[in-house]
Amino acid sequence: MADGFAPAFAFTPEVDAATASVWSKVKTRISPLEWRAHAPLIEAINRLKREKNAVVLAHNYMTPEIFHGVGDYVGDSLGLAREAARSDARVIVQAGVHFMAETSKVLAPDKTVLIPDLRAGCSLASSITGADVRLIKQRYPGVPVVTYVNTTAEVKAETDICCTSANAVQVVEAAAAAWGTDRVILIPDEFLARNVARQTDVKIIAWRGRCEVHERFTAEDILELKAAYPEAQVLAHPECPTEVIAVSDFTGSTAAMSDFVATRRPKQVVLITECSMADNVAGDAPETEFVRPCNLCPHMKRITLQNIYDCLLNDRYEVRVDPAMAERARLAVQRMIDLPPPARPARYDLVKARHHVDVELI
């Protein structure tokens, strides 16, 4: 079929039957009218995946019809990249943003990695370049560079070791010990760096990158929420400002938030992160009430069922990473993977913080 000429999709009894289990998970978040448009695309994408030996890796911030409807693996960016490496599929479709597709390509170099919309970027990843990191290393010789996974392959290639929001404290301490230094460069998220600095004796040198979704939350937002919903548990992502973390009940990665809801089953919860996160966790926690607010990530929202279908149908857009760069980036990610799992997930809990020291901002 020629590029751009997709068939018309109808909500037939066959489509209804094939997608009934997905509908049961999303029906509290999607109207019946919207579902009649989504279900035929979900059925068509799942058929195309089988025909092309493809899998869809869906980030926690994808909309529920993508997350529950076509995601073969769902989770945070690193979890998805590890699945990319483990999968037997020939084609990986990254339902997420561009740096995530690059990380999948870095960890699965022999597979074809596609992204449905090349414009799906990230304010954090675009805040820093490989050239910036080279300059930082010149300014701080001998100080190890720890880079958050939310970065381009070019930046990871200049890095000593990667970290996620779940293991950043552990990685910073391991890097300081391995390099025999009391300072570590932790880039590019300023707020993640500030939150980590309060949990460790290691001095942190930070960059001024920010996630445009999480930086917009304020402590006042949280205090107003707590006054309005005194029973609600407030869970915040560590890319939020430190003042937000200080007044939240729990702070952790998207995976840690999902785990919190799955294991503690709170009656009411507020997820201080991207809006689709609550929609997706709600599909598996029907007895928990999810209270807004949340913020939308415009980059994540570029990914739709329609462009996932088009991407699979037309084998576009392929994400490539220069092999030599990928090799260096893979080493930084592998060093993190090789660390023993942390004794407990990082919580960034300022009430129990060991320090109130700040970071050195570059």
Question: Which CB sits closer to ligand SF4, 233 or 276?
Answer: 276
Question: Which CB sits closer to ligand SF4, 19 or 304?
Answer: 304
Q: Which amino acid is at 202?
A: V
What tokens appear for 92 in the block?
């990986």
Question: Which CB sits closer to ligand SF4, 257 or 353?
Answer: 257
Q: Determine contact, residues 92/108, Cβ cutoff 8 Å.
A: yes
Question: Which CB sits closer to ligand SF4, 82 or 299?
Answer: 299
Question: Which CB sits closer to ligand SF4, 16 or 212?
Answer: 212
- Least Å distance between CB 235 and ligand SF4? 15
Q: SS3 of 163, please?
A: strand
- Least Å distance between CB 71 and ligand SF4? 17
Q: SS3 of 325, please?
A: helix
- Least Å distance between CB 148 and ligand SF4? 9
In the DSSP assignment, the letter for residue 250 is E
Please tell me whether the peptide bond between 73 and the residue prior to it is cis, using omega within 30 degrees of 0. Answer: no
- Least Å distance between CB 3 and ligand SF4? 28
Signed CA dihedral, 286, 290, 296, 297: sign only: negative
- Least Å distance between CB 170 and ligand SF4? 21
Distances (CA, A) of 222 to 123, 195, 218, 245, 276: 23, 17, 7, 9, 19
CA distance 133 to 209: 13
- Least Å distance between CB 294 and ligand SF4? 11
* CB neighbour list of residue 111: distance below 8 Å, 6 or more residues apart: 84, 87, 89, 90, 91, 92, 104, 105
Question: Which CB sits closer to ligand SF4, 101 or 291?
Answer: 101
CA angle 44, 10, 67 (to 5 degrees): 45
Question: Which CB sits closer to ligand SF4, 150 or 200?
Answer: 150
In the complex, which residues of this chain contact ligand SF4 (CB under 6 A)?
A: 97, 122-124, 150, 211-213, 274, 297, 299-300
- Least Å distance between CB 238 and ligand SF4? 11
CA distance 167 to 172: 9
Give the residue from 43, 46, 54 showing the smallest Cα distance to 17.
43
